Structure formats: C-alpha cells, structure tokens
Amino acid sequence: MPPSPRAPIDTTLIANTEAGFAHAGVWPVSVSGVLLPAGSFAVLFEVDTRDADRKDLQTLARSLLGFGTLDEMAQWLGLPAYPGDGSVLLPSGVSAGEPMGLAAVTTEHGPALSVSYFPLLTPTMDQSLTDASQADMVLYERAQANLSAVGAGIPEAHGLDTSLARVGLSVARRTPDAWATRDAQWEGSRRPSALDDLVAESKPAVWWTLRYKTAWLADGSIVSGNPIFTNVLWNELGRGTDLRELETWLGENGHVVDELTVAVFNTSAPRWRQVLPDYPIDQAASCAGCHGEYDKGWSEGFYGEEALTTVAVRYAAQTAPVDVGTDPQRAAGMSDFAEALNALVLSQAINMVVTVQAGYVPPPLDGIWAWFPYLHNGSFPTLCALLSPVEERPARFVVGPPDDPATDFDEACVGIPAVPPEAWLAEPRNGVDASIAGLANGGHETVVSGGDRGHVIEYLKTL
C-alpha cells in the first residue's frame, strides 16, 4: 500500500530502528565481562583442523562441555543460524549461516566474541596452541577473572534459556550492596540460593510482542522501567561485569540503549507464508479475555492475502500474569533475588522495579505459529498438544534446530514434528520430558474439542 500523503515516512524512526538492529547483532557493550578474543578462540574451535593437539583439546572440550567446535557450540546452545533468504536482517559483519547470539564486539583489545548464552566454559588457554597474541591473552585473562563472578547453569532441554538462574546465581557471588560490588570472598564461596533447587528456565522471549506489554518477562515480573535497559543490566550482571564500568559505558552510550529499544518496539511478527484454506475460521472468542482481540481483514470485507492481515490488536491495557496451573518454578525463581535487583543504583536510575508474581502473562498470540515449542517452559511441542486434554499431551518429545521446513516443522499441528528428524535424535539433551522439574506440561486446560481444534489452529496461523 502506498503511504498516505498525510503520514510521511518517519526517516528518523527508520534510521534509529536500523541502528538498533545493528547493535542487537553485535552485542554493543564493550565493557562486557565475558569476551573471548575472536581470532584465537575461533582458531581453537575451528571446524576443520589437522592439528592433532587442537583435535585432542576439541575432544576433551566435547566430553566436558558437550561441544568441541564453534558450530557444535552454537548447536548445543540452540542458537539458530541466520537464514540466507533475506527474512532476517543480517547484522553488519555477520554472514548467513553464522549462529545468532554469538556476537562480534570491537574492544580496545581487538575483536572479541561475546556469547549471549554463556555455558560453563573456563578457557585455560595455552598460548602456543591458539597462537593467541598478547592482546588476546588480556581478553582471556579478563574473561577468566570475570567468570569467577558468573554462576551459570546448563539448560534442562535444548533451546531453553537459563538466564534467570545465571543472573540470580551471579548476584549471589557479589557483595549484597547497591553496586553488587565484585568481591573475591563471595566469588570463592557464594551465598546459597533458592535457584540451587529450582529449574527457573524459559524459552527466550520474542521481540515482536514486547510492545503490547506493560509487564515484561514470562512471569510479568518487570513492572516498571525500560525492559531493554533492564536486559542490558541483567546480561552484564550475568557476565561478571563491574557495574561501575557499565555505568560509565552507559553514560557515554545512552543512545545505543535507546536505539535498541526503538528497534525492539518496531519489530513485527513473522507471517505464515502459505495461503490458508477458504473455510470460515473460528475467532477463538474464548481466548480473547486473556490473549487479546485481533481484528482480521476478512471482517472488513477484504479478500485473499489482505483478508488474512491482522488490522488491529487489542491487548489488555495492563499486562497481568494469570495462574492457569502451568509449571510454577520459573515464576518462583524470581523471588530469590528480586530485592537485590531493585536495590541496585542502576535499577533505580531507570525506575526499574521487579515484583514477584504467581503465574505467567498470557502472551499476545501475534506470530504465535513461529514461537514453538509452547508455554514459557517449552513443554508443549505443538498447538495441538496445547489445546488437548492433559492426558493426551505427550509426556516426552524431541526438539532440535528447525533448519529444514519440510522435515523439522509440523504444519498441521504447528510446531515440533511428532517424528523427529534423525539428526535431533543423536543429541540426548534434545529430549523434553514432562516429568523433569520445571518442564511439567499440566495447566492451561483451555481444551478445544477435536473438531474445532483444527479451525482454532488455522485461525492462530493467521495472527
């Protein structure tokens, strides 16, 4: 549709959004705690190497960490590759096929890799083995020192994000003061945490629903403040970053956070590409009370593709969590360190407030077809499973990176295919088992009976 003359294109908005996307692909915080020298780390974890020493080290890494090369690391972390079909904007310096979330950063010590989902990797690197330069060694040593302030966990299932536990356990390794000051004593022996027992994991949030919300995270516990700023602060807490260094960085780079925020709030949901069947689609009215109302083009008398367009979304003015009986561990996990986060100088500077909640925010269903497996803990492989009675939900299923739409996606039920591709079976961590704490698949018993289920799912595909 050509832009109307009364709505001129906002070039500043476009420029800020593009700048924000560029920051997102290349983690912008150059004082970040865990940065690995791009050159020598890549050499060590190179895919094809004939160097026997390096191969031995990769085998050792494989047995200790679960991966031996950068590609394996990306797979193990569940980082999808940037697609080559233009559907996702490539950050500068990143090529199609490279993993998302493994970002390149320019630091005063040279190019570095910043790992968004940092596992238990302590690089005791041998300089001769990796050809590391002096500057590289500075980065390694810095990363290694900062890692002692990082408490990390390994996800219970492929694709789940352990960042809540990482922030909580990292806070428990710092002095309980307003700067969460780094302290060797706490680093050596951290305070006990409820997160030692809780599995407070959740699937990574998508950007495109953030703009509908007034409380953020799966449990809606961030009730005030800019969620993007909060994300930067928490990420850095989880990377062992000195918060005074971060404050200085923020003082000089406030525009970076602003541009990121503009980008996130201007992201749209991906659209289902296939033409959908031509029969009347159930409006899923019973869901609207919790999940919002979606005005469709067909109600406005449009035809074809335009009929499928969502012309308006009406989501609750205040985003309140609802307890529908789904696994409580993730929400409970927040209670352990909410107060410590609220007390930080940097939280108060932006009026960031965390309030512990029971239950989870019913997410806007915009683009929900692309956000499988379902629920905050990814415990339902498909929309069919989510809308089925408890006893019909699969107790176990296998997840993996959805690389090939033909074999890795169930179009009818929307989500993880019931028969997993061979490649997924090779990795034991790909199994999702509802009997594991934190991965329970009860609750949300908004059952849609067999005949109507297909129609509700066809409707959800159009959102």
* Positions in the binding site for ligand HEC (CB under 6 A): 218, 284, 286-287, 289-291, 322, 324, 326, 359-360, 362-363, 368, 371, 374-376, 383, 386, 444, 446, 448, 456
Length of the chain: 463
In terms of CB distance, is 254 or 289 closer to ligand HEC? 289
Least Å distance between CB 328 and ligand HEC? Answer: 9
Least Å distance between CB 158 and ligand HEC? Answer: 16
C-alpha distances in angstroms, 167 versus 36, 180, 231, 336, 458? Answer: 20, 12, 11, 11, 39
Closest CA to 178 of 352, 353, 348, 345: 345
In terms of CB distance, is 40 or 357 closer to ligand HEC? 357
In terms of CB distance, is 2 or 389 closer to ligand HEC? 389
In terms of CB distance, is 36 or 414 closer to ligand HEC? 414
Q: How many CB atoms lie within 10 A of CB 198?
A: 22
Beta-carbon-side half-sphere exposure of residue 33 (alpha carbons within 13 Å):
27
Least Å distance between CB 279 and ligand HEC? Answer: 18
* CA atoms of 308 and 459, how far apart (whole Å): 9
Least Å distance between CB 219 and ligand HEC? Answer: 9
Least Å distance between CB 343 and ligand HEC? Answer: 28
* CA atoms of 323 and 330, how far apart (whole Å): 12
- Tell me which long-range contacts 447-450 makes (C-beta under 8 A, separation of at least 24): 447/387, 447/388, 447/389, 448/387
Least Å distance between CB 262 and ligand HEC? Answer: 24
In terms of CB distance, is 55 or 314 closer to ligand HEC? 314
In terms of CB distance, is 42 or 370 closer to ligand HEC? 370
In terms of CB distance, is 280 or 289 closer to ligand HEC? 289
Least Å distance between CB 458 and ligand HEC? Answer: 12
Least Å distance between CB 412 and ligand HEC? Answer: 15
In terms of CB distance, is 144 or 446 closer to ligand HEC? 446
* 443: region left, alpha or beta (phi > 0 left; psi from -120 to 50 alpha): left
In terms of CB distance, is 129 or 288 closer to ligand HEC? 288
Cis peptide before 270 (omega within 30 of 0): no
The strand pairing partners of 202, in sequence order, are: 161
Least Å distance between CB 371 and ligand HEC? Answer: 6
Phi, psi torsion values for 222, nearest 5 degrees: -85, 105
